[in-house]
C-alpha cells in the first residue's frame, strides 16, 4: 500500500524546503520510494506504480538509477568476446575435424564494429539521461535533430580523393537515423529484460525512420555495361575477374559481400543453384539462387580460373566489401560514367528479373532475398507491357471460355430437339392393328 508523507529539510538562515515522499510496500515486490516537490506528483506516481503491480507488471528503480550510457556499456560488454573466448574458439577451429559443425555449437553472435560505433555515438549524445528521463518525445526529438545535423569532415583529411564525392555537404540520412533508433532500442530492451523492468511506450514511435526514403533508381543504360567491361582492362589485378564480377552481379541480384564470399562447396551443379548461408546473408535467413543460362556460362569460366588453394569462387578479388567498392569506383571513373555504385548492379539484376521473366513477385523475392515485398513494389512499373499482355491473355481466355460454354449450351438444346424427333419417329413405327376380316357370305 502507498503512503505519502511530508518531509522538511532545515537550512540555516533560509526557510525549510518541503518535499513529499511516496513509499510503496507490497508483499512479493521490492519496496519503492521517491520524493517529489508536490503532493500531487507523489500521489500520481504512487497510483501509477500500484496500478502496474495490480496488472501483474514488474516494478523497479532501475529506470531512475541507470543512465543510458551505463546500460549501453553493459550491453556492449555482454556482447563482445572476451580474450579467453577468442582463444578457445581458435583452438576449437584448429583441432576440430568438422570446423563448420563446431563453429555452430560454440559460436555466439557478437556486435560488429559498425554497431559498436553506433552505440558509442548514442552513448555520447544521450548517455547523461537516466532511462526514466529518456521519454518517447525525447527520442523523437533526438532523431529529428540528428537528421538535420551536418556530418563533419574527417579531421585528418588533407584533400578530396577523386574517386569519392567528399566535398559535398552531407547530413545523416533516414536510413542512418533508423540504425541509431533500433540500436538504442535493442540495447535498452536487453537491459530491461536482464533487470526485469518495463520500458513502457518509449519505442512506440508514430514515425520510425524509413530504411529507404529515397531509393536509388540508377540503372545501366545502353552501352554502359560494355564500357564497364572494357574499363576492367585497366585494373592492375585480375581484369578478367572484375569482368566476371560485373556480369555476375548484374544478373544474379546477389549482394557484393555474398558474391566475393561465395565458396565452391556452396554450389550445387546437379540441381543448378547456389546456397547462400545465413551467416553471410544480410537478413540472416539464407537463401538459394538458381543457376540459369547466363550465370552457368560465367560459372564455367570461373571454374577454369579456379584456385585450388582458395575456397572462394572470386578468389582473385578482395574479400572486403569496401575494397570491392573502391575497385568498382575506379572502373566507373575509367569508363567515364557517373553516379554508378556497385550496389546498383543488384538493382539492375532485379529489374531484369521483372522485365525478362514471367516470375511472380514472391518468386523473385526468394531469389533476391528481399524480406519485404513492398521493397520490390517499385519494380512493378518496369513490366507494363508484360502486365498488359497478361490482361489481354486473361481477356482472351475469358472470351474463349464463354464461347465454349455457349457451344455446350447450344449442343444441349440440339440434343433435346433430337430426343423429341426420335420419340415421334418411334411412335410412328408402332404396328398398325389389322383390319377386321369380312364376314362370310351366306350362300
3-state secondary structure string across 12-59: CCEEEEEEEEEEECCCCCCCEEEEECCHHHHHHHHHHHHHHHHCCCCC
pTM, full prediction: 0.59
- Note the pLDDT of residue 63: 66
- Note the pLDDT of residue 381: 63
- Note the pLDDT of residue 252: 92
Q: Decide if 275 contacts 261 (C-beta within 8 A).
A: no
- Note the pLDDT of residue 96: 45
- Note the pLDDT of residue 29: 65
Domain ranges of the chain: 2-59, 61-91+109-153+166-214, 224-384
Q: How many helices (H) and strands (E) does the chain have?
A: 17, 6
- Note the pLDDT of residue 382: 60
- Note the pLDDT of residue 150: 80
Mean pLDDT for back-to-back runs of 10 residues, the chain (443 residues): 75 72 73 79 80 67 79 91 58 46 51 86 90 87 86 71 68 86 92 83 78 75 92 91 95 92 92 88 82 92 93 93 90 91 91 84 86 74 63 76 78 61 49 48 38
- Note the pLDDT of residue 148: 85
The x, y and z cell numbers of residue 190, run together, are 536487453
CATH class of 224-384: mainly alpha
| Range 365-370, long-range pairs (CB < 8 A, 24+ positions) | 366/287, 366/288, 367/253, 367/287, 367/289, 367/290, 368/253, 369/255, 369/276, 369/281, 369/282, 369/283, 369/285, 369/287
Amino acid at each position: 500500500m502507498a503512503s505519502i508523507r511530508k518531509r522538511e529539510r532545515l537550512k540555516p538562515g533560509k526557510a525549510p524546503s518541503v518535499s513529499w515522499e511516496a513509499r510503496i510496500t507490497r508483499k512479493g515486490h521490492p519496496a519503492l520510494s521517491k520524493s517529489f516537490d508536490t503532493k500531487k506528483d507523489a500521489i500520481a506516481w504512487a497510483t501509477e506504480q500500484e496500478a502496474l503491480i495490480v496488472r501483474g507488471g514488474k516494478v523497479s528503480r532501475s529506470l531512475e538509477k541507470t543512465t543510458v550510457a551505463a546500460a549501453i556499456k553493459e550491453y556492449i560488454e555482454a556482447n563482445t568476446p572476451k580474450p579467453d573466448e577468442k582463444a578457445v574458439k581458435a583452438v576449437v577451429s584448429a583441432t576440430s575435424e568438422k570446423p563448420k559443425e563446431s563453429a555452430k555449437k560454440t559460436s555466439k553472435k557478437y556486435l560488429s564494429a559498425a554497431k559498436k560505433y553506433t552505440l558509442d555515438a548514442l552513448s555520447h549524445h544521450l548517455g547523461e539521461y537516466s532511462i526514466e528521463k529518456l521519454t518517447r518525445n525525447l527520442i523523437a526529438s533526438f532523431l529529428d535533430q540528428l537528421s538535420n545535423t551536418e556530418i563533419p569532415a574527417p579531421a585528418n583529411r588533407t584533400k578530396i580523393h577523386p574517386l569519392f564525392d567528399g566535398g559535398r555537404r552531407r547530413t545523416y540520412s533516414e536510413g542512418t537515423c533508423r540504425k541509431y533508433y533500433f540500436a538504442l532500442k535493442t540495447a535498452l530492451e536487453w537491459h530491461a529484460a536482464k533487470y526485469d523492468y518495463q520500458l513502457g511506450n518509449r519505442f512506440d514511435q508514430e514515425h520510425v525512420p524509413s530504411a529507404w526514403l529515397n531509393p536509388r533508381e540508377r540503372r545501366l543504360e545502353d552501352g554502359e555495361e560494355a564500357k564497364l567491361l572494357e574499363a576492367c582492362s585497366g585494373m592492375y589485378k585480375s581484369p578478367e575477374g572484375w569482368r566476371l564480377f560485373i556480369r555476375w552481379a548484374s544478373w544474379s541480384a546477389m549482394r557484393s559481400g555474398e558474391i566475393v564470399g561465395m565458396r565452391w562447396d556452396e554450389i550445387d551443379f546437379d540441381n543448378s543453384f547456389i546456397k547462400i548461408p545465413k551467416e553471410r546473408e544480410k537478413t540472416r535467413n539464407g537463401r538459394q539462387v538458381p543457376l540459369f543460362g547466363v550465370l552457368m556460362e560465367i560459372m564455367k569460366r570461373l571454374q577454369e580460373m579456379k584456385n585450388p588453394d582458395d575456397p572462394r569462387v572470386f578468389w582473385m578479388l578482395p574479400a572486403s566489401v569496401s575494397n570491392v567498392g573502391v575497385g568498382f569506383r575506379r572502373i566507373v571513373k575509367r569508363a567515364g560514367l557517373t553516379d554508378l555504385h556497385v550496389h546498383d548492379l543488384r538493382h539492375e539484376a532485379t529489374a531484369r528479373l521483372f522485365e525478362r521473366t514471367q516470375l511472380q513477385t514472391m518468386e523473385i523475392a526468394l531469389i533476391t532475398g528481399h524480406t519485404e515485398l513492398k521493397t520490390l513494389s517499385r519494380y512493378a512499373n518496369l513490366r507494363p507491357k508484360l502486365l498488359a499482355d497478361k490482361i489481354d491473355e486473361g481477356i482472351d481466355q475469358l472470351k474463349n471460355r464463354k464461347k465454349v460454354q455457349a457451344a455446350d449450351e447450344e449442343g444441349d438444346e440440339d440434343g433435346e430437339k433430337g430426343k423429341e424427333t426420335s420419340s415421334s419417329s418411334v411412335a410412328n413405327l408402332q404396328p398398325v392393328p389389322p383390319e377386321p376380316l369380312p364376314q362370310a357370305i351366306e350362300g
